[in-house]
Structure 1
Amino acid sequence: MNPSARQHIAIALVSFAVLFYQIGITRVLSVVLWYHFAFLAISLALLGVGAPGVWFALRKNGVGKAGDGARPDADRGLAGVLLAGGVAVPLSVIAITKGMALVRGANDVRDTGGGFLDAPVLLTIGTILVPFLLLGAAVCLLLLRAQGRRVTTMYGADLLGATLGAVVVVPLMHIFPTPVMLAASGLLPLAAAALVSPRRVLPAVAGIVLVATMIWGEPYQLRHTKKYDEARAVLYE
């Protein structure tokens, strides 16, 4: 497979993961926080994609080290960003399913819906923003690699992946537990990292570990809501 085809598949996989994660995480947030915080995921997704785009645009226009341009930025660290994004996705799910109960005692979310200084809300913002920033940066780096007419085909692959991610996520919610399903979306940027990198060992190892945690299931079992802990039943199972 030629490098161009690999990059097209990679950007489609990453865009699929972004939309899949963005929509799916709203279901989890509606349980662990108040339902209106579910829309926080949309804002964080836009920030995660927009902030890297602004950063790379400024560097391209001369803000940063002298001589920096689109191609050097695009060629450095793409596989690392994809690998980090693939790892950050399941870790963010674990932080919400397991970490929310730990921080809730520090500052409970009240019936009024709490505020942005509540510990659970701050935890949510931090854990969700990281994968969005990494995946958004990966999309930008892949687009920067395109030259001439390839920009249009790369952007088309980007839109196709995002569309498919948005289409399949809701039906899959009725089949698989939502936290496990979201963690599985981390396999897509790992696959993209394996496509664009000559060194495929790290993405493969990370993928094996992720699949093992999904089979185990315990890290993704959601047992608490905004108000109480469910001692016996597992939510979304």
Structure 2
Amino acid sequence: MSDAIKAATLEYATRLGDDSVVLGHRISEWISFGPFLEEDIAYGNVSLDYIGRARMFYTYAAELASDGRDEDDFAYMRNDREYRNLLLFEMPKGDFAYSQVRQLFADVYYTVLLPELVQSKDETLAAIASKAIKETKYHLRRSRDWVLRLGDGTEESHKRTQKAVDALWGYTHELFDMDETEQLLADEGIGVDVSQLRDAWLKRVTDILTEATLTVPEDSWEVKGGRIGYHTENLGHMLTEMQIVHRSHPGCKW
């Protein structure tokens, strides 16, 4: 592996880890606040799936960095400008409909992304993707069912779900952006050309939203910047809460 490819793979693994840990933390914020006990349990399980995925990506990033850092350093010792997650994942949990719509967008995204990443020439990335695919099937089944129930439910649930779709839609464009790092890895057969996945994602999401009696928004606005460290204020607040114990007791093991 050349130095350029190694550096790009390190960045790529870190990005994927950031996506997973940020979304995993957001999901965990619903634990004990779900509409009923089974949902509290489900939220815990889904959150752990994402946190486990983040650990694998961060461990690989630490291996590539070879500078003494470990998975905890990647998760807890970087500030918001050093994080490279997609903006969609850092948005606050909002109400129940908001979180379920965001989860649907994410689950469909991983449904089209992970089968491509499994084909990676990088055996570690392919192995992580292979494990994550099994989890994503369950995640999508759950988020799809909830969006259908909320969208085609009461007048209030429909209104809240449509509002969530409209509020989050502009953040979905960033899911399919490519920069030089990702293009280099895609050309090398290591990363995924996500720009080629939007049509499949859009069709799947459109079918679900239509079935839920929801309207697909027009592409009238978009927000980007997460991949280069430009984030909303929400990420800084989230990281303050997520990192406080580790930063308060540096080097502590338990």
TM superposition score normalised by structure 1:
0.36
Whose relative contact order is higher, 1 or 2, with alpha carbons under 8 Å and at least 6 apart? 1
TM-score between both structures, scaled by the size of structure 2: 0.34
